[in-house]
Amino acid sequence: MPGVGQAGGLPYAKGVLESHSASSVPAATAPLVSVATALEAVVTGLTRVEPEHQSSKSDSQQAVPEANPGDKLSPPQPLPAAPAIEEQMVRKAPVMQPANPEREPQAPPPSPPSRMIPPMFVVMIASELAPVAKVGGLGDVVYGLSRELEMRGNAVEIILPKYSHMRYDHVWGLTRAYENLLVPWFGGAISTSVWFGFVHGRKCFFIEPHSADNFFNRGVYYGHNDDAMRFAFFCRAAMEFLYKTGKHPDIIHCHDWQTALAPVLLWEIYQHLGMRHSRVCFTVHNFRHQGITGEHVLRATGLNRPEYYFHYDRLRDNANPRALNLMKGGIVYSNFVTTVSPRHAWEAKDDGQGHGLEPTLHIHQCKYGGVLNGLDYDQFNPEHDPHIPAHFNAASLEKKYDNKRALRHRFWLADNGKPIIAFIGRLDAQKGLELVRHAIFYALNHEAQFVLLGNSPEAGINDHFLGLKQQLNNNPDCHLEIGYHEELAHLIYAGADLLIVPSRYEPCGLTQLIALRYGTVPVVRSVGGLADTVFDKDFSDRPLHERNGYVFAHADNAGLESALHRAIRCYYDFPQHFQDLMRNGMRCDNSWNHPGQDYLNIYDFIRDK
Ligand code: ADP
C-alpha cells in the first residue's frame, strides 16, 4: 500500500511501544482519570497542550504542512495555578443532598466556585443532535451540553449533516444559509448547501451536499460501507464552511470518530489558511467504533501525503498497519480529549477497554480525562414532562403510581401488586443482551413484571427479540416493544419501579440517570459511568442517604440475579426502604450544572489567550 514506507514503519512503532511502557500505570494502582488528574499533569508538566505532531521536533523537521509551512501557532501562555484548576475541575461523583427527615425535595447544590471565564464562541461538530437526529446518548449530550453552555452566556453553534430522514418537525425556521459552498473533494469540489434552523432554541447548520453519492439520504444514520467517506466529507464541509464564512470559534468541540477528522484538517490545512485561533476539544463517547478506513479518505479530503499520515504518531491504526484510524487522529490532533466518565477514562486507558487505542491514550494522557455526562433536566423532568399523564417529584411519589397504571394500560399488563422492571436502550451486544434476556425470565419467575423498549440496526437481533415477544405475547406480566419511541420511553421511565442496565461496557450511560430522575431504581453492572453514578443500597461505602440503586460486578446470570433478588425483595418486604432509595435517586444532581462547568474549564484552559 502506498504510504506505508519501510523507513517510517518500524521506528515509529518502536517509539509508540517505548512511550507506552514508560508512561504505563499499573492497572491496580492507576487512579480514575478525571479531568482534574489530566490538568494537574499538564500543569506540573511543562507545556501547554498542543497537538502532539506540532510539538514534535522530529516531525517539524520532516513534515511539510499543506500550506504556509512557516506559520506558527501563538506562543504558549502562562498556565493557571494548579490549586485553582484543582478546585474547579475535580468532580469525582455526582453531588447529593444530605438526607432530611422531612424528605422534602431540595434545591440543586450550588455550582462549584468558578474563576471568571470570559464568554466563548463554541462550535459543536456532531453526527447526532437530540431530538432531530438521535440514535443514542450522543444526541442527548450534544443538545444538553450546548444548551448549558448557552445558558452560561457562551455563543454556541452546531454543525450537523442534513439527513433526509431527520425529524424536521423539531427544526424551526429552516432556511438556506449558504448556497454553493464548494467543498474540496478528490481534487475537485462538491457543491454544497448549508441550511440554518433552530432545534429547540439551539442554532444549527445542516450540511447538504449535491452529489450522486447521496451521503446523507440513506434512511439510516450509520451502517453503510462508505460511512468513513460520508463523515470525512462532513468534516471537510464543516471546516470549509467555518473558513469561508470567516467564523473563528474559540473552541471546536468534536464528538466520536465521525467528526475526528476535523482537528486533523484544522491543524494540517486550515490553520495555514488563517484559522489559527480555534482550539479543539474531542469527546469519545464510544471507543468501540473508531472509523477504520483506508488511504482513499486522505485523497478525498485533500490530506495529500499518505506517507505522512500513515504514521504511528498520527493516524496509522495501532493494530492494522494498512489502515487509518480516524478516532486516533482525533486524539492525536485535539488540544484536549475527554471521554464521558472518569471510570471509563481509566478503563479505556488502563483496563483493556480502549479497543486498541490504549498506547495512544498513554502517549496523550496529559491532555486526557473523563467528564461525566449530564442530563438535560428540562427534557427529563417528572414535574413537567408532557409525555406522562401524572407529574410528580420526590415529595409526591404517590403520583408516580398513576404513571405505573398508565404504563400497564398502554401495554395491556395485569394491574397487580408486582414491581415493573424495565430495559430501555439500543439492542447492541454492548448492552449485555443475554443478561437482558435472562432478566426477563427471572422477573417473570420472581413476582415481577417486565417491559422492554429497544431496537437494533441488525435484523438478526431485532428478529431474536421479536421471537421472544411472540413467545411471551400472552403473558400478562410482560411486554416487549421493538422500535424507537422517544415519547414512550418517558412513560416507561416514569411508570417503572426498576430499570436494569446490565452492560458489558458503558462509557457513561444515560438511561440510569433518567431513571434516577424519575424515581425508578436502577439495577446496574459496575462498569464505566454506571459505577460512577449508581451506589449499591447494601454494599456501597457511601452514606445511606447517597445510596440509590443496586450494583453487581460480574456480567453473568448469578451476578444479575443477586442484584435483582435484593431489589425485588426490598420492594415487597421493606417498601419504606425502597421509597428511600427512590427519593435518594431523585435528589442526585446529574444535571449539566457540574459537567458544564468542567467543559468550560477545559475550554478556558486550551483556548488561544
Ligand atoms: P447509548 O448512547 O449507548 O445508546 P445511553 O444510555 O448513553 O446509551 O443513551 C441512550 C439514550 O437513547 C437514552 O436517552 C434512551 O432513553 C434513548 N433510547 C435508546 N433506545 C431507545 C428506544 N428504543 N426508544 C426511545 N429511546 C431510546
Residue 406 pLDDT: 98
Distance 137 CA to ligand 1 centre (A): 6
Cα–Cα distance measured from residue 185 to residue 325, given in angstroms and rounded to the nearest whole number: 20
- The atom of ligand 1 lying closest to the CA of 130 is 14
What average pLDDT score do residues 234-256 get? 98
**Among residues of the chain, what percentage have pLDDT more than 90?**
79
In the reported structure, the alpha carbon of residue 466 is separated from the centroid of ligand 1 by a whole-number distance in angstroms of 19
How deeply is 47 buried, as exposed, middle or buried, from its count of CB atoms within 10 A (0-12, 13-18, 19+)?
exposed
The total number of residues written for the chain in this structure:
609
Task: Look at residue 136 in the predicted model and tell me its pLDDT.
Answer: 87
Nearest atom of ligand 1 to the alpha carbon of 501: 6
The pLDDT of residue 52: 47
Ligand 1 near 426 CB (within 6 A): yes
Average of per-residue pLDDT across 394-405: 97
| Ligand 1 within 6 A of CB of 140 | yes
Residue nearest to atom 2 of ligand 1 (CA): 137
Per-position DSSP letters for 185-213, written without gaps between them: ETTEEEEEEEEEEEETTEEEEEEEE-STT
- The residue-averaged pLDDT of 94-123 equals 62
Confidence (pLDDT) at 384 = 97
Q: Say if residue 530's pLDDT is above 50.
A: yes
Atom in ligand 1 nearest the alpha carbon of residue 512: 6
**Does the pLDDT of residue 129 top 50, yes or no?**
yes
CA of 426 to the centre of ligand 1 (A): 6
- Amino acid 104: pLDDT: 45
Q: Cell triple for residue 120?
A: 466563548
Q: Which of 135, 140, 451 gets mutated to test ligand 1 (max ligand atoms within 8 A of its CB)?
A: 140
Look at residue 35 in the predicted model and tell me its pLDDT: 58
Q: Which whole-number Å values give the CA distances from 371 to 280, 342, 561, 598, in the listed order?
A: 16, 6, 31, 7
Residue 173 has pLDDT above 90, yes or no: yes
pLDDT band at 18 (very low <50, low <70, confident <90, very high): very low
Q: Whose CA is nearest to atom 21 of ligand 1?
A: 425
pLDDT > 90? residue 543: yes
Is 80 exceeded by the pLDDT of residue 476? yes
- SS3 of 390-425: the string is CCCCCCCHHHHHHHHHHHHHHHCCCCCCCCEEEEEE
Residue 189 has pLDDT above 70, yes or no: yes
Residue nearest to atom 24 of ligand 1 (CA): 484
- pLDDT value, residue 114: 55
**Average pLDDT for 171-180:** 98
Query: Residue 539 in 3-state DSSP?
Result: coil
Atom of ligand 1 lying closest to residue 510 CA = 6
Centre of ligand 1 to C-alpha 77, Å, is 41
Asked if residue 76 has pLDDT above 70, the reply is no
The arithmetic mean of pLDDT across residues 235-254, rounded, is 98
CA-to-CA distance for 424 and 499, rounded, in angstroms?
8
Mean pLDDT of 111-126: 84
Residue 424 Cβ inside 6 Å of ligand 1? The answer reads yes
Contact assessment for residue 309 and residue 364, using Cβ atoms and an 8 Å cutoff: no
Backbone angles phi, psi at 545, to 5 degrees: -70, -10
Indicate the pLDDT class of residue 60, thresholds 50, 70 and 90.
Answer: very low
370 bridge partner residues: 34, 339
Count Cβ neighbours within 10 Å for each residue of 570-588 and write b for 16 or more, e otherwise: bbeeeeeebbbbbbbbbbb
Task: Give me ligand 1 centre to Cα 138, in Å.
Answer: 9
Residue 289: exposed, middle, or buried by beta-carbon count in 10 A (0-12, 13-18, 19+)? Answer: middle
Burial of 246 (0-12, 13-18, 19+ CB in 10 A): exposed
* Residue 96: pLDDT over 60: no
Distance from C-alpha of 522 to C-alpha of 530, rounded to nearest angstrom: 9
* Ligand 1 center from residue 236 Cα (angstroms): 29
**What is the pTM for the complete model shown?**
0.83
Which of 344-348's residues contact partners 24+ apart within 8 Å by CB, and which partners?
344/370, 344/505, 344/506, 344/507, 344/508, 344/528, 344/529, 345/32, 345/33, 345/34, 345/369, 345/370, 346/30, 346/31, 346/32, 346/33, 346/370, 347/505, 347/527, 347/528, 348/284, 348/287
How remote is the CA of residue 514 from the centroid of ligand 1, in Å?
A: 10
Evaluate whether 181 touches 191 at the Cβ level (below 8 Å).
yes
Q: Which of 357, 319, 360 is nearest to 53 (CA)?
A: 360
Q: What is the pLDDT at residue 59?
A: 40
Strand 188-199 and strand 202-209: the pairing is antiparallel
Instruction: Give the model confidence (pLDDT) of 548-569 as tens digits.
Output: 999 999 999 999 999 999 999 9
End-to-end CA distance of the chain: 42
Q: Is pLDDT above 80 for 289?
A: yes
Ligand 1 close to Cβ of residue 453 (< 6 A): yes
- Please state, rounded to an integer, the average pLDDT across all residues of the chain: 86
Rounded distance between C-alpha atoms, residue 566 and residue 543, angstroms: 19
Predicted confidence band of residue 106 (pLDDT cuts 50, 70, 90): low
For ligand 1, mutation pick of 135, 167, 501, 510 (most atoms within 8 Å of CB)? 510
- Residue to probe by mutation, ligand 1, list 344, 484, 493, most atoms within 8 Å of CB: 484
User: Is the C-beta atom of 489 inside 6 A of ligand 1?
Assistant: yes
SS (H, E, C) 129-165: ECCCECCCHHHHHHHHHHHHHHHCCCEEEEEEECCCC
> Model confidence over 37-46: pLDDT tens digits?
555 544 333 3
Encode 262-319 in three state secondary structure. HHHHHHHCHHHHCCCCCEEEEEECCCCCCCEECCHHHHHHCCCCHHHHCCCCCCECCC
- pLDDT in the model for residue 65: 39
Q: Which residue has the higher pLDDT, 518 or 28?
A: 518
pLDDT at 101: 40
Return the residue whose CA atom lies nearest to atom 26 of ligand 1.
486
Identify the three-state secondary structure at position 522: strand
- Assess whether the C-beta atom of 296 lies below 6 angstroms from ligand 1: no
**Residue among 132, 142, 237, 130 at smallest CA distance from 181:** 237
Peptide bond preceding 359 in cis form (omega within 30 of 0):
no
DSSP string, 310-354: SSTTTTB-SS-TT-EEHHHHHHHH-SEEEES-HHHHHHHHHSS-S
Q: What would the mean pLDDT of 229-254 be, rounded to a whole number? A: 98
